[in-house]
Amino acid sequence: MPITRSRFTGKEISSMLIDGSPYGITCGPDGALWFTLVHQGRIGQVVPGDEPTFFSLDPADGQPTVITPGPDGTLWFTEFTGGRIGRITTDGALTAFQAASPYGIATGSDGAMWFTQLQDDRIGRITPDGQLSTYPLPSAGAMPSAIAAGPDGGLWFTLNQGNAIGRITTGGEVSTYPLPTPGAAPVGICAGPDDALWFVEIGAGQVGRISTSGAITEFPLPDRAARPHAIVAGPDHALWLTEWGTGQLARITTDGKITEFPLEGAEPHGLTVGPDGAIWVAMESGALARHSLHPGEL
């Protein structure tokens, strides 16, 4: 497996070259990294330091995007153009369920998978055995994107074209919170270490924080054209995000201090905390980038 290394501000960045276009990435229950190859219709699995394994989807034209661990010891993912929710066991057995334009997906507090329907203005719920239900959003054309379980038992999601953050209870009740910045176009969202939700605004070049009561704070990035895409809570009580437009990884503390790190390759999308405690980034240009945390960050 080809590995290239370089150093930026005392921190090691390494890249694992991948034959394909990684988009979403997560750490599985088996201690491996699992990732989607959006243009190849495959799911990848790799233990850091080993060779990757690939599982082909059938059909392979569904554009697998976001992937996340489920409550049943498997991985769940979305196929945006294929209109499917996928499930893969750690030994590679695949199951697919029909669902229109799914994008973000997360495990809810009720033991079901919750997902966004980007083009249908709905939030979907699917149980591990495939029982599907959907809930309409109050406005059309809002483009629900990423979704995350909140500390309050609800599911929180971004409304990319609705310029708002949404919340849905496990009973299907929806609330929305407009963003202060026009055209912010939020995408990624995650639960933070401070009992709040953190999200990124790809249209405004900002990071946002929303409390469970709906109070919103925004933090501008140094380059407002950075196009932040995804965000994850790190093991260091900080948030980590990808800057798709500038090809960088960024770290923001809960009080708003931002640090940026250049990445090798282009088009960083999803990111996760790996089994080794490092931050791993899916680079659509054909690599998984690894950022080793500085001891002072832990």
Residue type, 56: S
Among 216, 221, 185, residue whose Cα is nearest residue 203: 185
Please say if 269 is a catalytic residue.
yes
Residues 118 and 120: their CA atoms lie apart, in Å, by: 6
Among 102, 269, 150, residue whose Cα is nearest residue 202: 269
Order across the sheet with 113-117: list the strands: 102-107, 113-117, 122-126, 132-136
DSSP 8-class letter at 296: G
Q: Which residue has the tokens 């209109």?
A: 83
| Dmax (CA) of the chain | 49
**CB-based burial, 95-122: b 16+ in 10 Å, e otherwise:** ebbebebbbbbbbbbbebbbbbbbebbb
Q: 146 and 103 in contact (C-beta within 8 Å)?
A: yes
Catalytic residue among 39, 229, 237, 269: 269
Residue 182 tokens, joined = 């026009």
Active site residues: 269
